[in-house]
Chains A and B, each alone.
Chain A
Amino acid sequence: NAGVMQNPRHLVRRRGQEARLRCSPMKGHSHVYWYRQLPEEGLKFMVYLQKENIIDESGMPKERFSAEFPKEGPSILRIQQVVRGDSAAYFCASSPVQGRYGYTFGSGTRLTVV
């Protein structure tokens, strides 16, 4: 039973390019959460999605960032026109139902903007 799969593990983008980060939840998990780990700031919640629905995006920056979790395929975190400040580790977590069973995290995507 594979865990939460994130790819790519490392992503380098030039300023102004787009970054697409993918997350496949654990089998049987229908809830996906994205977190960002910025240097010196710790892990911060970004967005919570279920299939085809955004449940809570209160942690998402207002511009350039979007997330989706389509009916088929992985969840995608998309960052348009990346800037140096977007350089961070982005983690995805999943759970079978909301809350009680805990959250399984992937190994993360480390985005570097040059």
Chain B
Amino acid sequence: AQSVTQPDIHITVSEGASLELRCNYSYGATPYLFWYVQSPGQGLQLLLKYFSGDTLVQGIKGFEAEFKRSQSSFNLRKPSVHWSDAAEYFCAEDPSGNTGKLIFGQGTTLQVKP
């Protein structure tokens, strides 16, 4: 079955430290990949997306993600985390590229220590 895996359910980092959130997708030769962030009680905000081209994608709020086809991964990174980055992060895939039928990972909750 098609799936998106986020291996880390919960991550804690210190403010100012670097961050990497892992995501593995399971389907699609040319997947459409997304990272969304959700603050408590809020909706989902798109951080970045990958459709094709350069495998290193820049997003909002200083985030970036790297698409690695050989590893079926699309990990999210940030060089220096801010306290306001504490939230839940979702990786998602549109396996067929244009269906709107996103498959979401289970999410990773990020806690930031002062």
The docked-state distance in angstroms from the alpha carbon of A108 to that of B41 is: 9
- Tell me how far the C-beta of A108 lies from the nearest C-beta in chain B, rounded to whole angstroms: 5
Give the chain B neighbours of A91 by CB distance below 8 A: 43-44
B112 within 8 A of A: no
A103/B98 contact (C-beta < 8 A), A42-B107, A91-B43, A108-B43 known: no
Chain B contact-residue range equals 20 to 34
- The answer to whether B43 touches A98, judged by C-beta atoms less than 8 angstroms apart, is no
- The answer to whether A48 touches B34, judged by C-beta atoms less than 8 angstroms apart, is no
- The answer to whether A45 touches B98, judged by C-beta atoms less than 8 angstroms apart, is no
CB interface residues, A 51-91, toward B, < 8 Å: 55-56, 58-59, 91
B106 within 8 A of A: yes
The docked-state distance in angstroms from the alpha carbon of A98 to that of B51 is: 13
**Minimum CB distance partner of B6 in chain A:** A42
CB interface residues, B 76-93, toward A, < 8 Å: 90, 92
Chain A contact-residue range equals 20 to 34
Q: Out of A48, A55, A95, A107, name the residue touching B42 (CB < 8 Å).
A: A107
B64 within 8 A of A: no
A48/B100 contact (C-beta < 8 A), A105-B43, A107-B43 known: yes
- The answer to whether B90 touches A43, judged by C-beta atoms less than 8 angstroms apart, is yes
- Tell me how far the C-beta of A34 lies from the nearest C-beta in chain B, rounded to whole angstroms: 10
The docked-state distance in angstroms from the alpha carbon of A59 to that of B101 is: 9
Chain A to chain B contacts (Cβ below 8 Å), 15 pairs: A42-B105, A42-B107, A43-B44, A43-B92, A43-B104, A55-B100, A56-B100, A56-B101, A93-B44, A95-B100, A99-B32, A99-B94, A102-B46, A103-B100, A104-B46
Residues of A within 8 A of B (CB): 4, 6, 31, 33, 35, 42-45, 48, 55-56, 58-59, 91, 93, 95, 98-100, 102-108, 110
